[in-house]
C-alpha cells in the first residue's frame, strides 16, 4: 500500500500498525489496501472510494446520458460544474476559485472529503520539507522505477508531470492552510522517502478541514446531497448537467464539467466489466464509488480505458469478515489475511495446478491477484502445521478463523483429514490435487522452488492433518482509471480527441498505471488527486478563455 490509500495510524493496542503492514509472521504478505467496510446499500453519509471525492450518480429523477428530465424544478447558470468534493474535487475547486472561475461544486454526500479523510499523507519529490531534512531525489529515478514496474506501458510524460509539479503542490497546499506533521519518510518500506504525513497522520485533520475552510473563505458555492445523473451536450460540446437534490430536479447550465466521482470500485457490475469474477467479492471501498462519472462519460462518447485500467485488489476468503478499515489495525488481521494473500501456502487453479509463486506481495501488494485473473477459480491449500506456525498464534485471530470455518458450511473454506476429502468438497480432481501437493512438498523438502522461485523460508510442506482448502475471492478497494484523459485531464473520445468541456480527475481519469497498480512509491495516489485537481482547474480556465 505504501500510503496510497485511505488508512488510519494505530500503534497502541492489538496488532501494531507496523505488524499490520509487514504481514503475518514472515509470510511476506503486507496487510491491505485502504477503503471502507463493504455494505449492500450505499449509505448517504459516506464518500467515494478513491480518496478522490464523491460525485454523480445514476439514481434520481433525471435519465442518465443525454435525455432531459420531463420537469426541471430549478436551474443554475455557471461556467464550470465540479462533480465531487473529495480529495481531487477539493483541489480543483480551490484552484478554480483562485483562478477566478465562475463555478459550482456539487457532491451527493452530505459533507465534503469522501475517503480523503482517511488518507495519511501525499507524495512529493524535492519539496521544501524534504530539503529541510536533507532529502534529495532525482526525478528520473522515480519515473524509471514506476515505468519499470509497469513494464514501460505507461506514458512517462504523465509521471514526469506529477513528479515535477509535486513539490509545488506541497507548497500550494500549505498556502491554502493544509498542515503536515513535518515527517517525511518511505512509509514503512517504500522505494523512496516521498511520503509527507499530514497533521495527526490524517487528511481529515490536515487536508479536508483546511480545504473546506478555504472554500468558505473563497465563497465557493457548494451544493451537497446533489446527484448528477445526466450531461447536457450541444454541438459536441458540454453544455451542462442534470441532477437531483433537495430542491428537486436540477439543471446546471455550464460550459465545462469536471468528474471527480471516485471511480467504480463500489459497483460490482462495473468491476465485472474489468474482467474480475465478483462471486463472493468483498467491496471494501465505498459503495458510493459507483462508476457514475465513468458511465456518464461513456454515454457521451468517451474512449474506454477499462481494458488497461488498474485496481487496488487483494485475494480474500468469503467466509472471513470483510476488512473494516476504520479499525483495521485493531483487527486480528494476521490470523486470516495472510492465508489468502499467499506466502507459506499453495495456490492452485480449478485444474489443481499451481500457477504462480505465492509471495508476490513481496514485489507488489496488489500483484497477487493478477496471475489468477484468467483462471475460472483459485484456491489456497495449507495444513494444520502451517496454520499454527504462521497464522494461528494470536488467540483472537484463531477464534476468527475457527468461527468462519464452522459457520460457512464448506462454501468457501473447508477442513478435512485428507486431500481427497477437501478436494471433493469443491468438486476438484482429487488425484490431480494430490499430484500437485506431492510435487510441491518435494520442492519444499529440497529447499528450492525450482518451478517459480518462491523464497525458501516460505516453502513449507503440506503434510500434517487436518488439511484446509479455501476458495479465493477478492477484496476490491478502488479502481484506478476507466476514462481516457490527456495530461490536461480532458476526456478523450474514440479518436483520442478532447471532448470539449469535459474533464475527469482523481481515480475517474487516472492514466498513471496500466493493469497493475504499482503501489511501491509512497503517496502517489493522493499526490495525483491534488495534481489532477489543480491541472483540470487550470485547463478549464484556458478553455473558457477561448
Convert the pLDDT of each residue in 450-468 to its tens digit: 999 999 999 999 999 999 9
DSSP conformation letters of 358-424:
TTGGGT-GGGGGSTTTTSS-EEEEEEHHHIIIII-SSHHHHHHHHHHHHHSTTSSEEEESSHHHHHH
Measured from the Cβ of residue 248, the count of other Cβ atoms closer than 10 Å reads: 14
Residue 326: per-residue pLDDT: 52
Q: Give the three cell numbers for residue 142.
A: 522515480
- What are the phi and psi torsion angles at 432 (to 5°)? -65, -40
Query: Helices 524-545 and 87-98, interaxial angle, to 10°?
Result: 40
pLDDT at 332 over 50: no
* Higher-confidence position of 244 and 29: 244
* Residue 5, pLDDT above cutoff 70: no
Name the more confident of 362 and 358.
358
Ramachandran region of residue 352, left (φ > 0), alpha (ψ -120 to 50) or beta? left
pLDDT in tens, 158-204: 999 999 999 999 999 999 999 999 999 999 889 999 999 999 999 99
The b-or-e profile of 484-512 (16+ CB within 10 A means b, else e) is bbbeebbbbbeeeebbbbbbbbbbbbbbb
Q: Is the pLDDT of residue 153 over 80?
A: yes
pTM of the model: 0.86
DSSP 69: P
Residues 2, 8, 160, 369, Cα dihedral to 10°: 50
For residues 198 and 206, is the Cβ–Cβ distance under 8 A? yes
**CB count in 10 Å sphere of residue 391:** 25
H runs (alpha helix) in 4-86: 17-22
In the predicted structure, residue 335 carries a pLDDT above the cut 60: no
Residue pair 524/4 in contact by the 8 Å Cβ criterion: yes
pLDDT band of residue 65 (cuts 50, 70, 90) is low
pLDDT of residue 197: 97
Neighbours of 153 (CB within 10 A): 11
Task: Give residue 293's region: left, alpha or beta (phi > 0; psi -120 to 50).
Answer: alpha
Summarize pLDDT for 11-39 with one digit per residue, the tens.
222 333 333 333 333 333 322 332 222 22
Which of 209, 245, 236, 239 has its CA nearest to residue 85? 209
Biggest distance spanned by C-alpha atoms of the chain: 74
Q: What is the pLDDT of residues 288-322, one digit of tens each?
A: 788 999 999 999 999 999 989 999 899 999 998 88
Which helix (DSSP H) or strand (DSSP E) does residue 203 occupy? helix 203-203
d(CA 75, CA 52): 27
pLDDT at 59: 33
pLDDT of residue 237: 96
Q: Is the pLDDT of residue 139 over 70?
A: yes
pLDDT at 116: 84
Average pLDDT over the chain, rounded to an integer: 86
| pLDDT tens-digit series, residues 275-287 | 999 999 999 877 7
C-alpha–C-alpha distance, residues 461 and 344, integer Å: 9
Residues of the chain with pLDDT > 90, as a percent, come to: 73
Name the strand (E) or helix (H) holding 129: helix 128-132
Please state the rounded mean pLDDT for residues 318-336: 59
Residue 508, pLDDT > 50, answer yes
- Residue that is written with C-alpha cell 490470523 in the block: 335
- What pLDDT, on a 0 to 100 scale, did the predictor assign at position 288? 79
Flag the least confident range among 58-62, 105-109, 327-331: 58-62
pLDDT tens digits for 492-504? Answer: 999 999 999 999 9
Other residues' Cβ atoms within 10 Å of the Cβ of residue 315: 25
* 3 state SS of 100: coil
Per DSSP, what are the bridge partners of residue 249?
Answer: 244
Angle of helix 139-149 relative to helix 156-175, nearest 10 degrees, comes to 130
Burial track 348-387 (b if 16+ CB lie within 10 A, e otherwise): bbeebebebbbbbbbebbbbbbbbbeebebbbbbbbbebb
**Mean pLDDT in residue range 241-269:** 96
Mean pLDDT of 2-13: 33
pLDDT at residue 366, rounded to an integer: 86
Burial-class residue 271 by CB neighbours within 10 Å (0-12, 13-18, 19+).
buried
The pLDDT assigned to 66 comes to 65
**Confidence at residue 325, expressed as pLDDT on a 0 to 100 scale:** 55
- 260-269, 328-337, 347-356: range with lowest mean pLDDT: 328-337
Closest by alpha carbon to 31, among 398, 319, 325? 325
pLDDT score at 518:
84
Q: Residue 177 in contact with residue 214, Cβ under 8 Å? A: yes
Give me the domains of the chain, ranges plus CATH numbers: 74-308+481-545 (3.50.50.60), 310-476 (3.90.700.10)
Taking residue 219's Cβ as centre, other Cβ atoms within 10 Å add up to 7
Of 372, 377, 371, 462, which is closest to residue 411 (Cα–Cα)? 377
Locate 510 and state its grid cell.
487516472
Q: How far apart are the first and last CA of the chain?
A: 42
Task: Say yes or no to pLDDT of 137 above 60.
Answer: yes
Amino acid at each position: 500500500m505504501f500510503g496510497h490509500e485511505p488508512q488510519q495510524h494505530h500503534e497502541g493496542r492489538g496488532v501494531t500498525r507496523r505488524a499490520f503492514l509487514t504481514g503475518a509472521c514472515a509470510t511476506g504478505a503486507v496487510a491491505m489496501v485502504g477503503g471502507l467496510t463493504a455494505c449492500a446499500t450505499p449509505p448517504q453519509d459516506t464518500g467515494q472510494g478513491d480518496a478522490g471525492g464523491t460525485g454523480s450518480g445514476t439514481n434520481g429523477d433525471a435519465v442518465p446520458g443525454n435525455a432531459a428530465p420531463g420537469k426541471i424544478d430549478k436551474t443554475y447558470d455557471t461556467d464550470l460544474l465540479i462533480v465531487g468534493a473529495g480529495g481531487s474535487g477539493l483541489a480543483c475547486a480551490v484552484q478554480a476559485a483562485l483562478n477566478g472561475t465562475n463555478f459550482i461544486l456539487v457532491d451527493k454526500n452530505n459533507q465534503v472529503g469522501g475517503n480523503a479523510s482517511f488518507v495519511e499523507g501525499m507524495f512529493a519529490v524535492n519539496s521544501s520539507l524534504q530539503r529541510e531534512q536533507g532529502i534529495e531525489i532525482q526525478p528520473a529515478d522515480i519515473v524509471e522505477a514506476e515505468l519499470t514496474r509497469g513494464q514501460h506501458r505507461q506514458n512517462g510524460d504523465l509521471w514526469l508531470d506529477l513528479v515535477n509539479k509535486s513539490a509545488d503542490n506541497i507548497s500550494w497546499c500549505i498556502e491554502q492552510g493544509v498542515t503536515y506533521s513535518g515527517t517525511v519518510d518511505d512509509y514503512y518500506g517504500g522505494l523512496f522517502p516521498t511520503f509527507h504525513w499530514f497533521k495527526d497522520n490524517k487528511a481529515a485533520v490536515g487536508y479536508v478541514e483546511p480545504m473546506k475552510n478555504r472554500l468558505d473563505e473563497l465563497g465557493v458555492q457548494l451544493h451537497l446531497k446533489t446527484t448528477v445523473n445526466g450531461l447536457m451536450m450541444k454541438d459536441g460540446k458540454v453544455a451542462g448537467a442534470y441532477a437531483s437534490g433537495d430542491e428537486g430536479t436540477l439543471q446546471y447550465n455550464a460550459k465545462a464539467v469536471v468528474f471527480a466521482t471516485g471511480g467504480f470500485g463500489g459497483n460490482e457490475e462495473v468491476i465485472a466489466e474489468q474482467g474480475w469474477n465478483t462471486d463472493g467479492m468483498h467491496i471494501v471501498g465505498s459503495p458510493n464509488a459507483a462508476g457514475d462519472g465513468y458511465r456518464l462519460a461513456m454515454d457521451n462518447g468517451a474512449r474506454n480505458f477499462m481494458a488497461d485500467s488498474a485496481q487496488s485488489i487483494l485475494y480474500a476468503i468469503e467466509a472471513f469478515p470483510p476488512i473494516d478499515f476504520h479499525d483495521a489495525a485493531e483487527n486480528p488481521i494476521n490470523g486470516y489475511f495472510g492465508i489468502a494473500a499467499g506466502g507459506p501456502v499453495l495456490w492452485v487453479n480449478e485444474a489443481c495446478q499451481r500457477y504462480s509463486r505465492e509471495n508476490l506481495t513481496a514485489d507488489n501488494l496488489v500483484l497477487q491477484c493478477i496471475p489468477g485473473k484468467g483462471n475460472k477459480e483459485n484456491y489456497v491449500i495449507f495444513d494444520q502445521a502451517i496454520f499454527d506456525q504462521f497464522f494461528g498464534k494470536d488467540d483472537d485471530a484463531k477464534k476468527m478463523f475457527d468461527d468462519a470455518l464452522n459457520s460457512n458450511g464448506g462454501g468457501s473454506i473447508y477442513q478435512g483429514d485428507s486431500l481427497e476429502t477437501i478436494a471433493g468438497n469443491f468438486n476438484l480432481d482429487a488425484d490431480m490435487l494430490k499430484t500437485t501437493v506431492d510435487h510441491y512438498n518435494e520442492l519444499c523438502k529440497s529447499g528450492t522452488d525450482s518451478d517459480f522461485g518462491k523464497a525458501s523460508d516460505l516453502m513449507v510442506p503440506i503434510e500434517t492433518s487436518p488439511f484446509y482448502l479455501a476458495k479465493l475471492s477478492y477484496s476490491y478497494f478502488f479502481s484506478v482509471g476507466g476514462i481516457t484523459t490527456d495530461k490536461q485531464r480532458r476526456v478523450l473520445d474514440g479518436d483520442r480527441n478532447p471532448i470539449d468541456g469535459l474533464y475527469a480527475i482523481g481515480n475517474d481519469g487516472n492514466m498513471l498505471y496500466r493493469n497493475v497498480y504499482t503501489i511501491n512509491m509512497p503517496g502517489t495516489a493522493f499526490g495525483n488527486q491534488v495534481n489532477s485537481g489543480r491541472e483540470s482547474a487550470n485547463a478549464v480556465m484556458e478553455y473558457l478563455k477561448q
